[in-house]
Structure 1
Amino acid sequence: MPETEEMLADVCALTGMGFAAVARVTADRWVACQLLDRIEFGLKPGDELKIKTTICDEIRASGQCVFIDEVSADPSWRTHHTPAMYGFESYISIPIILEGGRFFGTLCAIDPVPRTGLKTVVPQMEAMAFAIARALDEITPDASR
């Protein structure tokens, strides 16, 4: 979806982060659908991560967004295995919810450098996740499969 490429650039500009992605997240898979990688994270569209190594798995389970300005300074996240494994200091991820409340995946961003004020960009990112969900609903009514 060409409009998603522009949204990923907007996510990077909005958050100051160098990696943004739309990921398909299920109980047993994390698949990069579309991404923008300015930090040489090393993923390409279609690449997979082990689901239990991702925070997106927790977002799938809770349905709630997660934002972390500075992992190493956050008592809830500084000992979490995911930031240590992937080497990021800042993180934001918004669930992509399809029509009927079906969870598709996440709109997420990471960076090796701490960022501030991520909470303030949540509404804009939620609007982008909503737009992605509506586009997916139009492309295929069964996008959740």
Structure 2
Amino acid sequence: MQTVTAVRADIHAWMSLAAEVEDLFGPLVDDPGFQAALMRNIERGTALCVRAAEGRAGSALAGGLLLSARHPHYEITWLAVEGKSRGQGIGRLLVDSALRAFTSPPCTVDVTTFGPDHPGSGARLFYEELGFESIGQLFAGGSRQVYRLQLPRT
């Protein structure tokens, strides 16, 4: 299992992954904003993915991550793991790979995830296990929790 930088041939696979998680994230596949963000990240090399069964470009994805990289502040803007691959360390692998590849400490890495009232609220525990700390809540169609990781870790 390894992370790779996504390429244009992966777009269809990204959309399939996005379709699977729309029940958590809301509409993505038909959202021009999501499509533009995906293309922007692919073009600048900040879209990471784990291809299912170590497949070639364009094969199904086990997970994907988009990162906004503006030193000294970075943001994980999207992270998803397909249902049958959850609990296998793919999310951790994606985050660790993004931190190694794109961040330059000292810096901060933020992520906005689901609040405690959302069915996907288990993501909060995932980020806490990675060392992220809660810095506040947002309310936009349900609560969202904002987490920050300070690098180097103190």
The alignment's TM-score, normalised by the length of structure 2, stands at 0.27
Larger relative contact order, structure 1 or 2 (CA cutoff 8 Å, min sep 6): 1
The structure whose residues are more often strand, as a share, is 2
The alignment's TM-score, normalised by the length of structure 1, stands at 0.28
Structure index of larger Rg: 2
